[in-house]
Amino acid sequence: MSLELDVVRNARSRAMRLSVDPRSGRVRLTIPPRASLRKALAWAEEQRGWIETQQAKLPEGRPFAPGALVPLEDDEIEIVWPSPGARRTPRLEGDRLLCGGPREGLEKRVERWFRAEALRILSEETAEYADRAGVRVTAVSIGDPRGRWGSCAASGSIRYSWRLILAPSFVRRATVAHEVAHRVHMNHGAAFHRFVETLFEADPAPARTWLRRHGAALHWIGKG
């Protein structure tokens, strides 16, 4: 079976390079602009053993299935499917997320609930930090990017990864403070970092460290 690869030609590359995305498991083959694609693919095939070893180290998918335990802020909740006839709109009762309706589509209904909860909490916390900073945020939205946990546009809109709701609250709040601080400093200079710490009222470094160490695993939650 041939390898599934994302092939990228990079003008700065001087040699062929393979990497495995820890957030998706996809294999990326980076090659110089004038390299032979045929030779590059043959070389990648020779590295199949290394690729399989790296993929074996990746976290296992954790689908939103009945009985699954899923992190939510600083807690862990269980997904419960009472019966097909039970209320299909998910509702949180204590440490259980109840979601009825047909078994088919359960995972999608649960993910929509997590996304809505993420948008609600992130919107509230963005408003809190914006008020503290004395700035205006024009819109708050969520997505599921692979490379960023948040982004702030010059227009004043802020977009977050909904998966922040799966991280500890101090990690999420530090990310919100970081993005709101960009409404004052659209860069990552020393003044920006001082302002983030002022808004967050704590050192945000532990939150950044947590995301570097555990952030990739959040992308495997909700995947089968």
Q: Which domains, from first to last, does the chain contain?
A: 5-56 (no CATH), 69-218 (3.30.2010.10)
Hey, what are 101's tokens?
A: 């309706």
Q: Give the whole-angstrom CA distance, residue 165 versus residue 39.
A: 44
What CA dihedral angle connects 206, 210, 213 and 217, to 10 degrees?
Answer: 180
Buried b (16+ CB within 10 A) or exposed e, 100-114: bbeeeebbebbbebb
Band (57; pLDDT cuts 50, 70, 90): confident
Q: Give the whole-angstrom CA distance, residue 220 versus residue 40.
A: 29
Strands 27-31 and 17-20: antiparallel
Judge whether 172 and 190 are in contact, CB under 8 Å. no
Q: Give the whole-angstrom CA distance, residue 155 versus residue 137.
A: 8
Sheet containing 27-31: which strands, arranged edge to edge?
5-9, 27-31, 17-20
Q: pLDDT tens-digit profile of 86-134? A: 999 999 999 999 999 999 999 999 999 999 999 999 999 999 999 999 9
Judge whether 64 and 98 are in contact, CB under 8 Å. no
Q: pLDDT tens-digit profile of 176-196? A: 999 999 999 999 999 999 999
Task: Look up the pTM and report it.
Answer: 0.84
Hey, what are 85's tokens?
A: 């006839």
Q: pLDDT tens-digit profile of 4-53? A: 889 999 988 989 999 988 888 889 999 999 999 999 999 999 999 999 89
pLDDT of residue 22: 85
Asked whether the predicted pLDDT for residue 171 surpasses 80, the reply is yes
Q: What DSSP line would sit under 81-93, residue for residue?
A: ---TTS-SS-EEE
- Farthest-apart Cα atoms in the chain, separation: 60
